[in-house]
Protein backbone atom coordinates (compact mmCIF):
# COMPACT_ATOMS: atom_id res chain seq x y z
CA UNK A 1 0.00 0.00 0.00
CA UNK A 2 1.43 3.36 -1.04
CA UNK A 3 0.22 6.37 0.96
CA UNK A 4 0.80 10.07 0.28
CA UNK A 5 4.20 11.22 1.58
CA UNK A 6 4.64 15.01 1.82
CA UNK A 7 8.27 16.10 1.51
CA UNK A 8 8.04 18.90 4.11
CA UNK A 9 8.61 18.88 7.85
CA UNK A 10 5.93 21.20 9.10
CA UNK A 11 6.02 24.92 9.79
CA UNK A 12 6.66 27.00 12.87
CA UNK A 13 3.96 29.10 14.55
CA UNK A 14 4.61 32.14 16.73
CA UNK A 15 1.89 33.78 18.84
CA UNK A 16 2.87 37.20 20.21
CA UNK A 17 0.92 39.35 22.66
CA UNK A 18 -2.47 38.11 21.47
CA UNK A 19 -5.48 39.89 22.96
CA UNK A 20 -9.14 39.44 22.10
CA UNK A 21 -12.35 40.69 23.71
CA UNK A 22 -16.02 39.98 22.99
CA UNK A 23 -18.60 42.42 24.35
CA UNK A 24 -16.00 43.92 26.71
CA UNK A 25 -15.10 40.47 28.06
CA UNK A 26 -11.39 39.85 27.55
CA UNK A 27 -10.95 36.25 26.38
CA UNK A 28 -7.24 36.33 25.50
CA UNK A 29 -4.96 38.44 27.66
CA UNK A 30 -1.59 38.83 25.98
CA UNK A 31 -0.91 35.22 24.95
CA UNK A 32 2.65 34.32 23.91
CA UNK A 33 4.05 30.97 22.77
CA UNK A 34 5.91 29.32 19.91
CA UNK A 35 5.30 25.98 18.19
CA UNK A 36 8.38 24.46 16.56
CA UNK A 37 8.26 22.85 13.10
CA UNK A 38 7.28 19.18 13.35
CA UNK A 39 6.22 19.49 16.99
CA UNK A 40 3.05 18.24 18.70
CA UNK A 41 2.12 21.20 20.89
CA UNK A 42 -0.89 20.85 23.16
CA UNK A 43 -2.72 23.86 24.53
CA UNK A 44 -4.46 22.50 27.62
CA UNK A 45 -6.91 24.17 29.95
CA UNK A 46 -10.43 24.08 31.35
CA UNK A 47 -13.51 24.89 29.30
CA UNK A 48 -13.85 28.62 28.70
CA UNK A 49 -10.14 29.32 29.07
CA UNK A 50 -9.75 30.69 25.52
CA UNK A 51 -8.32 27.63 23.77
CA UNK A 52 -10.73 27.40 20.84
CA UNK A 53 -10.77 31.18 20.32
CA UNK A 54 -6.99 31.11 20.04
CA UNK A 55 -7.15 28.28 17.51
CA UNK A 56 -9.56 30.30 15.37
CA UNK A 57 -7.02 33.13 15.33
CA UNK A 58 -4.27 30.80 14.08
CA UNK A 59 -6.36 29.67 11.12
CA UNK A 60 -7.55 33.20 10.36
CA UNK A 61 -11.20 32.86 11.41
CA UNK A 62 -10.79 35.58 14.07
CA UNK A 63 -8.76 38.78 14.07
CA UNK A 64 -6.92 39.87 17.25
CA UNK A 65 -7.52 43.18 18.98
CA UNK A 66 -3.78 43.31 19.69
CA UNK A 67 -0.78 41.13 18.94
CA UNK A 68 0.01 38.90 15.98
CA UNK A 69 0.39 35.34 14.78
CA UNK A 70 3.24 34.40 12.47
CA UNK A 71 3.75 31.36 10.26
CA UNK A 72 7.45 30.83 9.60
CA UNK A 73 8.01 34.41 10.80
CA UNK A 74 5.40 35.93 8.48
CA UNK A 75 2.31 37.65 10.02
CA UNK A 76 -0.87 35.92 8.91
CA UNK A 77 -2.53 39.32 8.51
CA UNK A 78 -0.17 39.95 5.59
CA UNK A 79 -1.63 39.22 2.18
CA UNK A 80 -1.44 35.64 0.92
CA UNK A 81 0.43 34.23 3.95
CA UNK A 82 -2.39 31.81 4.76
CA UNK A 83 -2.44 30.83 1.07
CA UNK A 84 1.32 30.23 1.08
CA UNK A 85 1.14 27.34 3.58
CA UNK A 86 -1.12 24.32 3.83
CA UNK A 87 -3.21 24.41 7.00
CA UNK A 88 -5.85 21.87 7.93
CA UNK A 89 -8.31 21.86 10.82
CA UNK A 90 -9.96 18.94 12.57
CA UNK A 91 -13.09 20.40 14.14
CA UNK A 92 -14.46 19.29 17.49
CA UNK A 93 -17.63 17.93 15.87
CA UNK A 94 -15.77 16.38 12.93
CA UNK A 95 -17.87 18.62 10.64
CA UNK A 96 -18.56 15.88 8.09
CA UNK A 97 -21.19 16.54 5.45
CA UNK A 98 -23.99 14.05 6.10
CA UNK A 99 -25.14 14.06 2.47
CA UNK A 100 -21.76 12.79 1.23
CA UNK A 101 -20.14 9.39 1.61
CA UNK A 102 -16.97 8.94 3.65
CA UNK A 103 -14.90 8.90 0.47
CA UNK A 104 -16.57 12.04 -0.86
CA UNK A 105 -16.00 13.82 2.47
CA UNK A 106 -12.31 12.92 2.54
CA UNK A 107 -11.70 13.88 -1.08
CA UNK A 108 -13.90 17.00 -1.06
CA UNK A 109 -11.12 19.61 -1.12
CA UNK A 110 -9.25 17.85 -3.93
CA UNK A 111 -12.46 17.42 -5.93
CA UNK A 112 -13.81 20.94 -5.45
CA UNK A 113 -10.50 22.53 -6.44
CA UNK A 114 -9.88 19.99 -9.24
CA UNK A 115 -6.38 19.37 -7.93
CA UNK A 116 -6.16 15.77 -9.14
CA UNK A 117 -7.88 13.53 -11.71
CA UNK A 118 -10.85 11.61 -10.23
CA UNK A 119 -9.07 8.23 -10.32
CA UNK A 120 -6.06 9.67 -8.46
CA UNK A 121 -8.34 11.26 -5.86
CA UNK A 122 -9.97 7.87 -5.32
CA UNK A 123 -6.54 6.29 -4.78
CA UNK A 124 -5.41 8.99 -2.37
CA UNK A 125 -8.66 8.72 -0.40
CA UNK A 126 -8.41 4.94 -0.18
CA UNK A 127 -4.74 5.04 0.87
CA UNK A 128 -5.37 7.71 3.50
CA UNK A 129 -8.36 5.89 4.98
CA UNK A 130 -6.25 2.72 5.18
CA UNK A 131 -3.52 4.61 7.06
CA UNK A 132 -6.17 5.58 9.62
CA UNK A 133 -7.57 2.07 9.97
CA UNK A 134 -10.67 2.79 7.89
CA UNK A 135 -10.04 0.61 4.84
CA UNK A 136 -13.20 -0.10 2.86
CA UNK A 137 -15.35 2.64 4.38
CA UNK A 138 -15.44 4.85 1.29
CA UNK A 139 -19.10 4.14 0.48
CA UNK A 140 -20.40 4.42 4.05
CA UNK A 141 -22.40 7.45 5.15
CA UNK A 142 -21.38 9.45 8.23
CA UNK A 143 -24.54 8.28 10.00
CA UNK A 144 -23.20 4.71 9.87
CA UNK A 145 -20.01 5.61 11.76
CA UNK A 146 -19.17 5.68 15.44
CA UNK A 147 -17.95 8.89 17.04
CA UNK A 148 -14.35 7.72 16.95
CA UNK A 149 -14.59 6.75 13.28
CA UNK A 150 -16.02 10.17 12.42
CA UNK A 151 -13.03 11.84 14.09
CA UNK A 152 -10.64 9.63 12.10
CA UNK A 153 -12.49 10.48 8.86
CA UNK A 154 -12.08 14.17 9.75
CA UNK A 155 -8.35 13.59 10.25
CA UNK A 156 -8.19 11.78 6.89
CA UNK A 157 -9.88 14.75 5.20
CA UNK A 158 -7.22 17.02 6.71
CA UNK A 159 -4.41 14.69 5.70
CA UNK A 160 -5.19 14.46 1.98
CA UNK A 161 -4.18 18.08 1.41
CA UNK A 162 -0.66 17.19 2.64
CA UNK A 163 -0.79 19.83 5.40
CA UNK A 164 2.19 21.54 6.96
CA UNK A 165 0.13 22.40 10.04
CA UNK A 166 -2.85 20.50 11.48
CA UNK A 167 -5.00 22.17 14.13
CA UNK A 168 -7.08 19.88 16.35
CA UNK A 169 -9.98 21.33 18.36
CA UNK A 170 -10.80 18.98 21.29
CA UNK A 171 -10.17 15.84 19.19
CA UNK A 172 -11.27 13.42 21.95
CA UNK A 173 -14.39 15.26 23.11
CA UNK A 174 -17.49 13.08 23.52
CA UNK A 175 -15.47 9.90 22.88
CA UNK A 176 -15.22 6.85 25.10
CA UNK A 177 -11.79 6.12 26.64
CA UNK A 178 -10.87 3.46 24.05
CA UNK A 179 -11.74 5.71 21.10
CA UNK A 180 -9.79 8.55 22.75
CA UNK A 181 -6.70 6.34 22.92
CA UNK A 182 -7.07 5.49 19.21
CA UNK A 183 -7.24 9.18 18.27
CA UNK A 184 -4.18 9.95 20.41
CA UNK A 185 -2.27 7.16 18.70
CA UNK A 186 -3.24 8.49 15.27
CA UNK A 187 -2.00 12.00 16.11
CA UNK A 188 1.39 10.58 17.12
CA UNK A 189 1.63 8.23 14.12
CA UNK A 190 0.83 11.01 11.66
CA UNK A 191 3.40 13.29 13.26
CA UNK A 192 6.05 10.58 12.90
CA UNK A 193 4.98 9.65 9.37
CA UNK A 194 4.90 13.08 7.74
CA UNK A 195 6.51 15.35 10.37
CA UNK A 196 3.57 17.72 10.21
CA UNK A 197 3.31 20.38 12.90
CA UNK A 198 0.34 19.68 15.19
CA UNK A 199 -1.36 22.25 17.41
CA UNK A 200 -3.90 20.53 19.65
CA UNK A 201 -6.30 22.26 22.03
CA UNK A 202 -7.81 20.03 24.68
CA UNK A 203 -8.91 19.76 28.29
CA UNK A 204 -8.09 16.02 28.14
CA UNK A 205 -5.16 15.39 30.50
CA UNK A 206 -4.52 11.87 29.18
CA UNK A 207 -4.37 13.09 25.58
CA UNK A 208 -2.07 15.97 26.43
CA UNK A 209 0.44 13.94 28.42
CA UNK A 210 0.21 11.05 25.98
CA UNK A 211 1.01 12.88 22.71
CA UNK A 212 2.68 16.23 23.41
CA UNK A 213 6.27 17.20 22.89
CA UNK A 214 5.39 20.33 24.84
CA UNK A 215 2.31 21.57 26.67
CA UNK A 216 1.03 25.07 27.42
CA UNK A 217 -1.50 25.41 30.23
CA UNK A 218 -3.95 28.27 29.71
CA UNK A 219 -6.46 29.60 32.20
CA UNK A 220 -8.74 32.63 31.90
CA UNK A 221 -6.97 33.77 28.73
CA UNK A 222 -3.47 33.66 30.23
CA UNK A 223 -0.66 31.15 29.68
CA UNK A 224 0.33 29.81 33.10
CA UNK A 225 3.16 27.46 32.11
CA UNK A 226 4.89 25.96 29.07
CA UNK A 227 7.10 22.88 29.10
CA UNK A 228 7.51 19.21 28.37
CA UNK A 229 4.94 16.87 29.93
CA UNK A 230 7.35 16.09 32.77
CA UNK A 231 8.03 19.78 33.38
CA UNK A 232 4.31 20.52 33.52
CA UNK A 233 3.75 17.67 35.98
CA UNK A 234 6.42 19.23 38.25
CA UNK A 235 5.10 22.80 37.84
CA UNK A 236 4.38 24.43 41.19
CA UNK A 237 2.06 27.18 39.94
CA UNK A 238 -1.02 26.69 42.17
CA UNK A 239 -3.47 27.25 39.29
CA UNK A 240 -1.69 24.60 37.22
CA UNK A 241 -1.70 22.22 40.18
CA UNK A 242 -5.42 22.82 40.74
CA UNK A 243 -6.21 22.12 37.07
CA UNK A 244 -4.11 18.95 36.97
CA UNK A 245 -5.55 17.67 40.25
CA UNK A 246 -9.09 18.27 38.99
CA UNK A 247 -8.20 16.42 35.77
CA UNK A 248 -6.88 13.44 37.74
CA UNK A 249 -10.08 13.34 39.80
CA UNK A 250 -12.23 13.36 36.65
CA UNK A 251 -10.15 10.55 35.15
CA UNK A 252 -10.60 8.48 38.31
CA UNK A 253 -14.37 8.99 38.18
CA UNK A 254 -14.52 7.95 34.52
CA UNK A 255 -12.52 4.79 35.17
CA UNK A 256 -14.45 3.76 38.29
Q: What is the pLDDT of residues 7-26, one digit of tens each?
A: 457 899 999 999 999 998 99
178's CB contacts (< 8 A; 6+ apart) are 148
Question: Of the candidates 121, 89, 125, which has an alpha carbon nearest to the alpha carbon of residue 200?
Answer: 89
Alpha carbon 105 to its chain's center: 18
- Looking at residue 240, what is its pLDDT? 92
Domain check: are 76 and 185 in the same one? yes
Q: pLDDT tens for residues 88-99?
A: 888 776 678 888
My answer on whether 42 and 74 are in the same domain is yes
The whole-model pTM stands at 0.85
Domain span holding position 108:
100-163
Clarify whether residues 187 and 233 are in a common domain: yes
Q: What is the pLDDT of residues 98-110, one digit of tens each?
A: 889 999 999 888 8
Going by their DSSP bridges, the two strands 165-169 and 87-90 should be labelled as: parallel
The verdict on 172 and 153 lying in the same domain is no
Q: What's 223's domain CATH number? A: 3.40.50.300
- Please indicate, yes or no, whether residues 125 and 196 belong to a single structural domain of this protein: no
**Residue 134 and residue 112 share a domain:** yes
- Total number of domains constituting the chain: 2
Residues 108 and 175 in one domain: no
Question: Which residues lie closer than 8 Å to 36 by C-beta, 6 or more apart?
Answer: 12, 197, 213
CB < 8 Å & 24+ apart, contacts of 71-76: 71/11, 71/12, 71/13, 71/165, 72/11, 72/12, 73/12, 73/14
Amino acid sequence: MSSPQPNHQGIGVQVRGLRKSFNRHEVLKGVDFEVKPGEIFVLMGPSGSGKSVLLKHVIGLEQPDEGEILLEGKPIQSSNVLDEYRLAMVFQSGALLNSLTVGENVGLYLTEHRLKPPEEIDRIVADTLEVLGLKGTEEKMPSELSGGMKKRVAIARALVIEPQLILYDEPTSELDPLSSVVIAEEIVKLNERIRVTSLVVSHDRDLAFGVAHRIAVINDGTILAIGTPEEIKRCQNPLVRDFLNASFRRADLHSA
